Every structure is written in structure tokens, then in C-alpha cells.
Amino acid sequence: RKEVEQDPGPFNVPEGATVAFNCTYSNSASQSFFWYRQDCRKEPKLLMSVYSSGNEDGRFTAQLNRASQYISLLIRDSKLSDSATYLCVVTPRPVNYGGSQGNLIFGKGTKLSVKP
Amino acid sequence: NAGVTQTPKFRILKIGQSMTLQCTQDMNHNYMYWYRQDPGMGLKLIYYSVGAGITDKGEVPNGYNVSRSTTEDFPLRLELAAPSQTSVYFCASREVGGLYEQYFGPGTRLTVT
């Protein structure tokens, strides 16, 4: 099982649609969870962290289910500018809590294309 | 603040050539990272550093070397370039503690032919 797996996509949706991305992770000791956004031919940028209680930032809602090792991202009222690849990212807990603490494990990403 | 800067933006190498990818950050971050991203794939960690003078291997270190003589700079050296090293290379940095957010440079697109 891959460390971080995401819906392969691509997701093609009309403006205003609600779209959900799913992600599963294999390391049950994983510590921190994030969604990054990557525009075409650009660097990844943090979209939002994911907290156990779930969290919302405007049109974006992230959920974490530690028991199922599952993370989700919901985008409501999608805009053309939301078109990008969304990367599910996990921070593993290293056995020795050494220098690798805070290293990120990236999923392959799910591409979203919002059409007019 | 420039954040994380990388040079060059693009480079074409011939098989067997060597080069250094430069990375500099002006945020006084202790942690720095090098990733590669192949088409349609996630980012894979090549090397990382937790501070000046300290480096460690990531998931895919073969064919690369790094050094960290200052807090600001973290160059990545490719020796004897191979076609398998054709990729986009991203440098990133983060502060100690906090939410582990990493700040990425704009990337270097490398083609080895």
C-alpha cells in the first residue's frame, strides 16, 4: 500500500459545483496532515492544515478520520481559479523522532479543472 | 522577502555532465529540503538538512550530493547526469517547530539527454 493515496482524477466540474477529494494514508502513527495546492508548472503551496475536529476556511473544508486513516477536502461553489492539482500531504512520526521529524510525504495529487 | 529562490530555472544537460542546482532562502529557516517531481507523480525527497553542517538522505538520494555550509544556502549537486534524473527539482524550507509548513522555491526544470 502506498504511503499516501489519492483519487487519480482528473475532476472536471462546472463553476459553482461542489467537489470532494479523498486521500488515505498507510502509517497509523502519522502526525500532521495538510492539503497543498499546485498550479500548473508552479511550486506547491500550503492550502490548509487538517485538524482532527475538521476545519473550514471559506469555501474549503477539510476532514480527518484517524480511525479510517482518511482525509478529505471539500470545495464548495468552485471557481475557475480553483483549477489546480491538490496534493494530500502527511507528516510521518519517525521511529527515533530524529531530524526527519517534519518531513512531508506527498500523494500524487488530484487534478481539478473548473469550467465556465 | 524573496522567500526561497532557485537557479537556474531551466537546464539541459548531456549524459555524464555535472551541475549544481542552487537554493537560497532568506527566512532564517533551519530546515531545508530538496525534492524531485516526475510528471504525474508526487514529490519525492532527495536530501534534507536540519541546520548548517547537518544533512541527511531522503527517499531517493542516489546520484545526488548536498552541502549546507550556511543557514541560507543548500545546493544540490548532480554528478554524472543520467536520463533518469530528468525531472523538476524543488527546494523548500521551514522553521523549527510550528505546523511543519514548507515554503517552496519556483523549481528547476532539468532535462538530461
- Among A34, A43, A103, select the one facing B107 at the smallest CB separation: A43
Please give the average per-residue pLDDT across A15-42, as a whole number: 92
Contact with chain A for residue B107, Cβ under 8 A: yes
Whether the per-residue pLDDT at B1 is higher than 80: the answer is no
Grid coordinates 521551514 are at which residue? Answer: B94
Nearest-5° Cα angle at A114, A2 to A84? 45
Q: What is the pLDDT of residues B15-58, one digit of tens each?
A: 999 999 999 999 999 999 999 999 888 899 999 999 999 999 99
Report pLDDT digits (tens) over A80-105.
999 999 999 998 765 444 456 668 89
Strands B43-51 and B4-7: unpaired
Query: A77 to chain B nearest CA, in Å?
Result: 26
Q: Confirm or reject contact between B89 and chain A (CB < 8 A).
A: no
Confidence (pLDDT) at B9: 96
* Percentage of residues in chain B having pLDDT higher than 90: 85
